[in-house]
Amino acid sequence: MTASAASPESCPVGPHRPFSSVLVANRGEIAVRVLRAAREAGLRSIAVASEPDRLALHSLTADMCAVIGDGPAAESYLDMDRVLAAARDAGAEAIHPGYGFLAESAAFARRVQEQGLVWIGPSPEVIEALGDKVRAKALARAAGVPVCPGYEGDVSDAAAVLAAATQIGFPLLVKAAAGGGGRGMRIVTAPGELAAALDSAAREAQGAFGSGRVFLEKYVEPARHVEIQIVGDAHGNVLHLGERECSIQRRYQKIIEESPSPVVDPELRARMGEAAVALAKEAGYVGAGTVEFLLGPGGDFYFLEVNTRLQVEHPVTEMVSGVDLVRLQFAVAAGEVLPRTTAPEPRGHAIELRVCAEDPAFQFAPQSGRIVYLRLPTRPGVRIDAGIRTGYEIPTHYDSLLLKLIAHGSTREQARTRALRGLADLLILGPQTNVAYLRAILEHDAFVAGDLSTSFIAEHMAGWAPDTRVPPEVLMAAAAGEFLGPRAAADVPEGDGAAPVPTAWYGLGSWRVVDPDDGPQKGSVS
């Protein structure tokens, strides 16, 4: 499943053809993940970086790296002209967008193809069709996929909207037709709230996505967020690789994901997989993507949306399916036929934790600053996808995700235990992180029982607060860092003009050294 190393001159004309080099138009842990897969596939790997990321891990992982602009994403990773110029100058034959930034930009995908490069993703037309939730729901209906009851008509007609809302029933959701991540979304519990919700959701959607179009949808509660991984090739084949449970969310952002879902049995998995495949075929989908569903308490499921890219949580699918999704993306983009069309049986269980630079004690405010010391777990069954290293300065311009800890076991409980032990081994001295919060979720009785819903955080974690005690082993680690000198731990030397490096004592704020058998998770130092 590797992309052919044929020269550009010998490649057939078309969007799917062999290539020998790939530029990754992203940063952080996903860029590292894709770049390493490229090198394993025998492809020349090219990174792009902003000035603050010049010495980031992804910049050092690639065969070559092009610095494309200043820190703000609009001046670097979101600048199509600069990314394409870097690809041209480096002689790249393909572009992998990762996720975020330009990954779901139909305009960027179109420009990539117009410049004769291979776009590792679905076509611009498919991105446009599925990126609009109203159009995506129409495609789902055409494919016979269950769709949540709603209203997608003219919301400026107050009488029609109220009549539709009454028929749908309260509570309901006002949702943005474009974008996601909870922006442009409002819960409406009574008719009197509807007009204000429509107005505020439209304004937020316009500012976030450039489109103020909104629609109504039934609010399913309690509900689970369950998604199906799909991959389609250019020969009309579509494969699904089972489901992921993504119900643990804070402010509509996923925190912990797992595969398989604790409540999805083989019969339901087959039905949801068939629905996802039918929608992908209806849309003419080529590449990796995710079809997202709401799963109700009675086993009914409803289509939510399609993410036309690789997901942050793709490693749990890889762990239970044995399929390298990035390598499969390369193969499909190179025009190869899928190696199989039937879903493999899940092998064990996998849980992913998103470790972020944020302070749970202060409303999860994003953090920045130097990683004074980093120790990653090396236990069996624990995988780390990281975008950081010791000595790296976390910029203020980007997403707060630092790394993902993925634990695999023969059972869900073994995976959960391994995840806890992986967190115990993980040590980051520097900015605050959410590690204590993740541990608290994993140890909660409802999580242990698999009793999950999209309301989990609101119901079970609202009163959580970190412990502020400093364990002695952290003091020892900080003392060791002070004795050795902070520069001794850095991977990359700095120039004479570099700013002073904070001492290890300065970085005590994000300690995380814990024993899984030592009672409640210790928290962070303020």
User: d(Cα 21, Cα 120) in Å, to the nearest integer?
Assistant: 12
Q: Is 54 a catalytic residue?
A: no
Q: How far is CA 316 from CA 134, 304, 338, 474, in A?
A: 29, 21, 20, 31
Question: Which residue type is seen at 6?
Answer: A
Question: Which residue type is seen at 367?
Answer: Q
Token reading at 197: 């919700």
Which residues, listed in sequence order, are joined to residue 226 by a DSSP beta bridge? 245, 293
Question: Which residue type is seen at 128?
Answer: E
Q: How far is CA 375 from CA 32, 53, 423, in A?
A: 18, 21, 11
**In residues, how long is the chain?**
526
Q: How far is CA 462 from CA 28, 189, 251, 363, in A?
A: 30, 21, 12, 11
Task: Name the one residue in this structure whose structure tokens are 């390598």.
Answer: 327
User: d(Cα 319, Cα 381) in Å, to the nearest integer?
Assistant: 9
User: d(Cα 301, Cα 294) in Å, to the nearest integer?
Assistant: 5
User: d(Cα 248, Cα 235) in Å, to the nearest integer?
Assistant: 36
Label residue 316 exposed, middle or buried (CB < 10 Å: 0-12, 13-18, 19+).
buried
User: d(Cα 270, Cα 242) in Å, to the nearest integer?
Assistant: 8
Question: Which residue type is seen at 118?
Answer: V
19: three-class secondary structure by DSSP: coil
User: d(Cα 204, Cα 95) in Å, to the nearest integer?
Assistant: 31
Q: What is the dihedral of CA 464, 258, 312, 465, to 10 degrees?
A: 10
User: d(Cα 292, Cα 240) in Å, to the nearest integer?
Assistant: 13
110: three-class secondary structure by DSSP: helix
- Name the active-site residue from 82, 309, 370, 421: 309
Contacts of 510 (CB under 8 A, 6+ apart): 357, 367, 428, 429, 430, 431, 432, 433, 435, 524
Q: What region, left, alpha or beta, does residue 121 occupy, with left being phi > 0 and alpha being psi -120 to 50 degrees? A: left
For 104, phi and psi rounded to 5 degrees? -115, 30
> Active-site residue numbers?
309
